[in-house]
Amino acid sequence: MASQGESIESLTRLKETFRKLPGIGPRNAERLAFHILREPRDFAAALAQALIDVKDKVLHCKVCFNLTETDPCSICSNANRDQGEVWVVEQPKDLLVLEATGLIRGTYHVLMGHISPLEGVEPEDLTVSALVDRVKSGTVREVVLALNPTVDGDGTALHLQDVLSQLGVQVTRPARGLAVGSQLEYATTGMLEAAIRGKANM
Ligand SMILES: [Zn+2]
């Protein structure tokens, strides 16, 4: 006879897996697990397939490091985009924020983070050398440093300006419409538009 405290192994395993996700505590993990249990099997199958697909199909564009299922990504391979203008962002989610404004005619370069002496992140840990190679290839006319207006974002921008200006490319930054210490991803559309339209030389 099953005792009240009997553990159901597969349910426990699901709860423990959910707990490994960011922001999910034991109570939320339990709620999610019981939610899955109540849903039809099709839902669980679709969720499982979506998880596998994102791991198997999503990769980084070898030109700009954007997340994509085709390489190069749809932006890098789009002849209507200005390949001479490159907007440098910290993370793929920042690219999505800028792209959603519909104001960017150029392309992007995702650094995959920012330089941070405190966290031990050096330029070599980012995609800086790939950006330098892109500029050296001669197709890039202007690099816009759209980094977060934080201490590390500013430090990263200064480093990039230093490296890139030696290559004779124009280096600009979006206007300072964003509050110091804020993150690009939380900016309002109006703030972003003002910042994008007001970009200026560093
Ligand atoms: Zn790309």
Q: Which class is 67-201 in CATH?
A: alpha beta
Residue ranges near ligand 1 (ion) with Cβ within 5 Å: 61, 63-64, 66, 72-73, 76
Please report, in tens digits, the pLDDT of each residue of the chain (202 residues total).
Answer: 444 556 899 999 999 999 999 999 999 999 999 999 999 999 999 999 999 999 999 999 999 999 999 999 999 999 999 999 999 999 999 999 999 999 999 999 999 999 998 999 999 999 999 999 999 999 999 999 999 988 999 999 999 999 999 999 999 988 765 555 567 777 777 778 877 877 777 6
CA 135 – ligand 1 centroid, Å: 15
CA 134–ligand 1 middle distance (angstroms): 12
Same fold, 9-57 and 67-201: no
- Which CATH architecture fits 9-57? Orthogonal Bundle (1.10)
Any idea where the domains of the chain sit in the sequence?
A: 9-57, 67-201
| The two three-digit tokens of residue 27, written as one number | 């109570």
* Distance between Cα 40 and ligand 1 center (Å): 38
- Ligand 1 centroid to Cα of residue 120, in Å, is 27
To the nearest 10 degrees (0 to 180), the angle between helices 41-57 and 26-38 is: 120
Report the b/e string of 60-99 with b at 16+ CB within 10 A: bbebbbbbbeeeebebbeeeebebebbbbbbbbebbebbe
Residue 61 Cα, ligand 1 centroid: separation in angstroms? 5
Tokens of 88: 């440098």
